[in-house]
Structure 1
Amino acid sequence: MSTQYSELHRAKGMFRILALVVSLVLLNGCGLSIDADQARICRSTLPALNPGAAITVQRIQEGPAPRSLTVLYSAESPDRPPLDRYVVCTFAAEGLSLNKAELTGLATEEGPISGASLYMLKHYYLETPEGIAADPGSPPDAALIELPAGFAYWLQQLLVSLPRTAIYALLSVAFALVFGLSGRVNLAFGELAAAGSAATVTGAAVVIVSGLNSPLLGLAAGLAGAVFAGAMHSAVGGYFTISRITAASSQPSLIATVGLSLFLMEYLRLVQSPVTIWLPPIWADAWPLARAGNFLVSLTPISVMTAGTGLIAALGLLWLMKATAFGRAWRAVADDARAAAIMGVNGPRLLTQTLALAGGMAGLSGMLIVVQYGGLGFAGGFQYGLKALIGAVIGGIGSVPGALLGGFVIGLFETVWSAYLPIEGRDIALYASLAVFLIFRPGGLLGFQDTTPRNV
């Protein structure tokens, strides 16, 4: 009874934390009404409206009409004192619509500009490199903490790596879930991430077609579609490539998962076409956190959401493996499948559930890729899957916490290498690290010294 009470108490605590994080995300989402692309385009009109003047943006806020925003700024010319002015920009759409950055109206304190002037401004200024480079930037923040230059640059790289580490961690743990239970490596998880990406775009498209341009609704539909697509394809594909192949050697199953990977790749090519469909960026306006002279340490809201989603999924998975009947059954079969079967654990059903759970994690990682980077092609999941497999091996492929740690290490390694060393040698160094770990510590950082789960 005390054990059940303890598990119930832990479950309530986990759900409270999850509810709190979701509430914060929703509140932040409601407050992020200024689209970064729209704000950039509206700011870029200011030099054209004030030739030769020094522009200082003071504040950006919602406009008086739907799909509009107001930029308050000051313009200082050499021959007159600074003037406080404003401009109101109106756009064709908002949210996840592809034409949300199309400027359809422009007005100042002197009134709206004519259609001909707006056409000339858009096509002969805003769409040129000079117009793009003329953006005066976001409002300054004088209250930022001043940091040493080297530390500020290092901190910026660490913040940039957060979404990447979340993606690799979820993909790495998918490998660990299946390998820890069955001793088999499923090489199709990268393609399952691509399937999750395609489902994310489809879910967002359904929301847009229905007339709702809310980013939160689009992301919610994409999340549900990605997890379902990843779980379904993983359970069905894993049944034929892992569950049905009962040979003592793991090589036949490994070869079968290679075939599954190629099948999913071609399947996605036929379903979504070879052309990658990109979602427009949302919540991409940088939040300044600190500075080192003119160098700003910043973080975008979407990066916070991506990293936070990965963290919530990782914590939920750790709780699932530690405090539920599924987790106890998984650990029992991983230790000794025959003894677990004698105690009443249904091994085939548990394997199907594990395949679905691992596929859901892979699909979720694909959703995070779309949210953070805009899209993923039908063949783009291969590199993600390969690097996540390296992360699982480095962290301990039979260990769920180890795989999460390995994914974090891989994401941080890629970011730090790209920041300080030639990017051409990054992947070579990463693949070489796999050989080093397989030679000196085949069980990974948190795994066992053996390459397979321990014998009981």
Structure 2
Amino acid sequence: MRRRFAVLLAALALAGCSRLVETDQARLCRMALPALSPPDSTIEVVGQHEFPDGRGLRVVYQLEPPSPALTHFADCRFRQPGRPLRSDELTTLAIDGRPLSDVNLYFLVRFWLATPEARDADPAPLGDVADLPRLPRSAAYALQQALNGLPLAAIYALLAAAYSLVYGLVGRINLAFGDFAAAGGYAAALGALLAVGQTPATILAAALTLGGAAAAMWGIATSRWVFYPLRGATGQQALVASVGLAMAIDEFLRLAQGNRPVWVSPMLNAPFGVARAGDFVVTSALDALLSGGFALLAGLTLLAAMRFTRFGRRWRAYSDDPLAAQLFGVSPRAILAQTFALAGAFAGLSGFVMTIYYGSVGYAAATGLGLKALVAAILGGVGSIPGALLGGFLVGAFEAAWQACFSVDYRDVAVFSLLAITLALKPGGLFGVRS
């Protein structure tokens, strides 16, 4: 187990620093190998290397028999960089430097690559699974669902923390945080587009920076022109204002980005085996694990900042007693702007995770995403930052468990039912106070 963990860490490091191999390009290239190899041969993929222009890759593989195995390479070229949407985007294929004729390539694409049998014949969809740890079938199925729910839990946790930052300071709910996440997701997609062709680490850094910065700017603007002028208003008035703000941002994003989702080429999404139970193999991918690890790291960083930094002390002082905090020099305008900037940045990080993992972002998902994150914040205790982070992971786990056991058609009904149950049985949430 210790050796597997070390291998996984090495894979994460290499994936971040090496050039990106597009998963679906590699899959189509590998799927062609069984059709071009002797019928009784065994194919072992040795390596995959992307071409510098991003329009193809070389797959190095060995064939047995004969013994010792002979090493071959297949060069696959595609119509354009990025994810191929159809198998006919494969334009050339050469085995050991000898290209297939146009006729052979047409028949290969039309009558092999487009079939389910070709996908099943992929010689390395998960790598070598013979040495994976063995689990009981029920435990393996539970582990698979937990891994499936990890990215969604990360999205909810980051967005729930944004709700709690603002509510814990001024006792107000900003229902536009889902739209902040969508705006951050669009900015993250732009960052990934600007860095296309670079290493995964560069692409992720560009997407993260633009996504967090864009949502933080939305937070600062909201603080200055919406919430600070309403600092003396009732909670209902501020809530209605936030609904109007959410509708305005929705319409702005629709006019600026269009009705269709923006797509981002997936990265680090090559599946690998984690454990097995008979013929059932538990799988995950680096992007899913990175999503959960990123949310955990961001949450721990936020908790440390709230405890040990000057901003954290000022935030806690103003939250406990605004008048006393002002007497000691805490500016209401400044602390509100800083809090909204930080909360907006966390909403942008949520949009970044959503865009990079799912490969798309659209303004239409903002409302549902924001409401589910609000459920997570209330479940953990709205106003409690640790509770909000925990609530996000709990809601993500609940969704994954529901999808595993019941119809997905009622998944959202079940999630929003958690809100009613929490408010009825424990209004303060897990870590909040009853008031």
- Same fold, TM exceeding 0.5? yes
Q: Contact 1:168 / 1:388 at 8 angstroms: preserved in 2? A: yes
1:235 maps to 2:223: no
SS at match of 1:119: helix
User: 1:62 Cα shift?
Assistant: 3.1
Distance 1:378 1:393 in 2: 24
Give per-residue Cα distances to partners, 1:330-362, cap 9 Å, x unaligned: 111111101111111112110011001000000
User: 1:85 Cα shift?
Assistant: 6.4
Distance 1:239 1:24 in 2: 45
Identify the range of structure 1 (356-365 vs 103-112) with the bigger mean alpha-carbon deviation: 103-112
Q: Contact 2:377 / 2:391 at 8 angstroms: preserved in 1? A: yes
Distance 1:128 1:82 in 2: 32
**1:203 aligned partner:** 191
User: 1:260 Cα shift?
Assistant: 0.7
Distance 1:54 1:385 in 2: 54
**1:422 aligned partner:** 407
User: 1:416 Cα shift?
Assistant: 0.9
**2:316 aligned partner:** 331
User: 1:25 Cα shift?
Assistant: 5.1
**1:46-445 → structure 2 map (5 Å cutoff):** 46-50=33-37, 53=39, 56-63=42-49, 66=52, 67-74=56-63, 86-92=72-78, 97-98=82-83, 102-109=89-96, 111-138=98-125, 139-208=127-196, 212-445=197-430
Shift in CA distance, 150/82, structure 1 to aligned 2, threshold 3 Å = farther
- Identity %, equivalent residues: 40
User: 1:214 Cα shift?
Assistant: 3.1
SS at match of 1:298: strand
Shift in CA distance, 314/93, structure 1 to aligned 2, threshold 3 Å = farther
Distance 1:412 1:187 in 2: 23
RMSD of aligned Cα (Å): 2.7
User: 1:93 Cα shift?
Assistant: 8.0
Task: With the length of structure 1 as denominator, give the TM-score of the two structures.
Answer: 0.85
Distance 1:435 1:336 in 2: 30
Q: Contact 2:211 / 2:348 at 8 angstroms: preserved in 1? A: yes
Shift in CA distance, 187/140, structure 1 to aligned 2, threshold 3 Å = same
SS at match of 2:364: coil
Shift in CA distance, 169/56, structure 1 to aligned 2, threshold 3 Å = farther
Shift in CA distance, 32/164, structure 1 to aligned 2, threshold 3 Å = farther
Q: Contact 2:166 / 2:343 at 8 angstroms: preserved in 1? A: yes
Distance 1:193 1:28 in 2: 26
Identify the range of structure 1 (239-248 vs 410-419) with the bigger mean alpha-carbon deviation: 239-248
Shift in CA distance, 23/137, structure 1 to aligned 2, threshold 3 Å = closer
Q: Contact 1:231 / 1:363 at 8 angstroms: preserved in 2? A: yes
Q: Contact 2:18 / 2:199 at 8 angstroms: preserved in 1? A: no
Shift in CA distance, 30/207, structure 1 to aligned 2, threshold 3 Å = closer
Output the amino acid matched with 1:372: Y
Give per-residue Cα distances to partners, 1:83-111, cap 9 Å, x unaligned: 856441323489x7355984343233583
User: 1:246 Cα shift?
Assistant: 2.9
Task: With the length of structure 2 as denominator, give the TM-score of the two structures.
Answer: 0.89
Give per-residue Cα distances to partners, 1:145-168, cap 9 Å, x unaligned: 111111111111112221111110
Give per-residue Cα distances to partners, 1:290-334, cap 9 Å, x unaligned: 111111112201112222221111111111100001001111111
Distance 1:268 1:128 in 2: 39
**1:5 aligned partner:** none
Shift in CA distance, 141/403, structure 1 to aligned 2, threshold 3 Å = same
Q: Contact 2:19 / 2:199 at 8 angstroms: preserved in 1? A: no
SS at match of 2:44: strand
**1:8 aligned partner:** none
Q: Contact 1:55 / 1:136 at 8 angstroms: preserved in 2? A: no
Shift in CA distance, 319/218, structure 1 to aligned 2, threshold 3 Å = same
Task: Structure 1 unaligned segments of length 5 or more: list them.
Answer: 1-21, 451-456
**2:5 aligned partner:** none
Shift in CA distance, 23/131, structure 1 to aligned 2, threshold 3 Å = closer
Aligned positions, number: 421
User: 1:134 Cα shift?
Assistant: 4.2
Distance 1:111 1:368 in 2: 42
SS at match of 2:76: strand
Q: Contact 1:57 / 1:71 at 8 angstroms: preserved in 2? A: no
